[in-house]
Chain A
Amino acid sequence: MERADTERTIRVLVAKAGLDGHDRGAKVVARALRDAGMEVIYTGIRQTPAMIAEAAVQEDVDAVGLSLLSGAHMHIFPEVLRLLREKGGDDILLTGGGCIGDEDMAALAALGVGRLFGPGASTREIVAYIRAEVASRRAPT
């Protein structure tokens, strides 16, 4: 049956950027999004910005969730955002989490990166944010 655009299953790419292999956080978020009824494309660890952006395009996701613990967030988030835009994915929400200071968060938000979640964030908060943000982006303007 045909469904309204706003009811389509939300697809999210979850990736672990950077060189460390600590993917527990990414896996917990992936499960939480799945349990919230979303389709999660999990790409695993050591993903470069180019791999993340290209996979997001091939999978036609609504959002990309990046887990980043290595401290390279001021490089990786802007780079993923730039590549997404270059590949025609400007409508894809880029969000994520990790150990990111308030100042950096503000700077990334100014570039167009979505909300970023710190170590204390609950998965419920993340689910609610992605749902609301995707719905507003899908709504006809």
Chain B
Amino acid sequence: MLGTDLDRIIAAFTAGDRRAASRLISVVENGGAEAEAVLEALYPALNGAPRLGVTGPPGVGKSTLVDALVRGERRAGRRVGVVAVDPTSPFTGGAVLGDRVRMGDLTLDSGVFIRSMATRGRLGGLARATKEVADVLEAFGHDVLVIETVGVGQTEMDIATAADTVVVVLSPESGDAIQAMKAGLMEVADILVVNKADRPGADQLVRTLEADLAMRPAAVWRPPVLATIASQGEGIADLAAAVGRHHQSLQRSGDLATRRLERARGEIMAILRDRLWQRARGQLAADVSAWSERVVAGRATPYAAARALLAAFLESVEDKA
């Protein structure tokens, strides 16, 4: 794509063209210099819209819950951008992104824009560019952003820094997994939802979660546990109200600013890490091989090797500066 072509698409985007928005999302998703140019052009249009993260194990009804939540937001007159992430196969690089199946009726609502993303090798439950895709949707004028993660287990916590409010969704079937999740997923939850609450075991799960939360140290915000039947819209109004209360609490306590600073910090660090690493790796590859032989021969430890390599690398950087 030529630079002028990109300028033309950005102009169409600013005028509200959905095809242009979709194109810019692809540019951002694919990364590189064009993605940077797009973000630079769109950043002034960011409005600080609340970001809601929806996460939980596979099959608990995340997409159905997102569908129900978005309908509620629409009834309140708010425009909603949705980013739904599904896993890329590590073997083929392909993916089936099926979250739209549960959101079919939202497709023709001009106040909703849904984008499916594949993780493309990223392991934290989101794709590398999910946050940036949400930026594009925010700049497009959406009032609320919803990010749905892949079906997660114990370690996929990227959503904690990508969203202002994290909803962790469970179903009665995920009961056995709860013990294992206490040290991860449960800790990032601002709101806990037991979906499919008409199934056996739902009440028990709600009580278990509440008992677990009661043992946590007192905090400004105590995560509520809510029961929903998303497929019938039951409990959704309460969930939306809880999301609203959490956002107000974040604003009152100053935690919203803290979270967003933390998010920006994390982003800058990640970019720095990538760039530094790329540069160092290219420059040091040959020396690393030489040091490896010394390490195998017992003439140096890996730490001594790294120390020498880092010193050499930093010296070369200083020479260029």
Contacts and interface: CB of A to CB of B under 8 A. Distances in A.
Interface stretch (B101-109, B164-172, B204-212, B260-268): B101-109
Which of A30, A60, A89 has the most chain B CB atoms inside 10 A of its CB?
A60
Given A2-B33, A43-B101, A59-B116, A54 B107 contact: yes
A51 interface: yes
A30 B100 contact: no
A35 B92 contact: yes
B95 A57 contact: no
Given A60-B25, A87-B19, A88-B17, A34 B94 contact: yes
Contacts of A60: 22-23, 25-26
B100 A42 contact: yes
B302 interface: no
Given A40-B94, A44-B101, A88-B17, A55 B115 contact: no
Which of B22, B92, B120 has the most chain A CB atoms inside 10 A of its CB?
B22
Contact of A55 (B94, B96, B107): B107
The 9 closest A-B pairs by CB, nearest first: A2-B32, A34-B94, A88-B19, A44-B101, A60-B22, A37-B93, A60-B26, A37-B94, A51-B107
A141 interface: no
Interface of A: 1-3, 5, 8-9, 30-31, 33-44, 46-47, 50-51, 54-55, 57-60, 87-89
B100 A57 contact: no
Contacts of A57: 18-19, 22
B118 A39 contact: yes
A106 B35 CA distance: 41
Which of B19, B25, B33 has the most chain A CB atoms inside 10 A of its CB?
B19
Contact of A44 (B19, B100, B116): B100
Contacts, number: 88
B98 interface: yes
19 contacts: A2-B31, A9-B93, A33-B94, A34-B96, A36-B94, A37-B92, A40-B94, A42-B100, A43-B101, A44-B98, A44-B101, A44-B104, A51-B108, A55-B100, A57-B19, A58-B18, A58-B113, A58-B115, A59-B116
Which of B19, B94, B95, B98 has the most chain A CB atoms inside 10 A of its CB?
B94
Q: How many B residues are at the interface, by size bracket?
A: 20 to 34
Interface of B: 1, 17-20, 22-23, 25-26, 30-33, 88-89, 92-98, 100-101, 104, 107-108, 113-116, 118, 120
Contacts of A33: 94
A89 B33 CA distance: 25
Contact of A59 (B31, B101, B115): B115
A13 B132 CA distance: 22
A51 B18 contact: no
Nearest to B20: A88
Nearest to A55: B107
Contact of A40 (B1, B32, B97, B120): B97
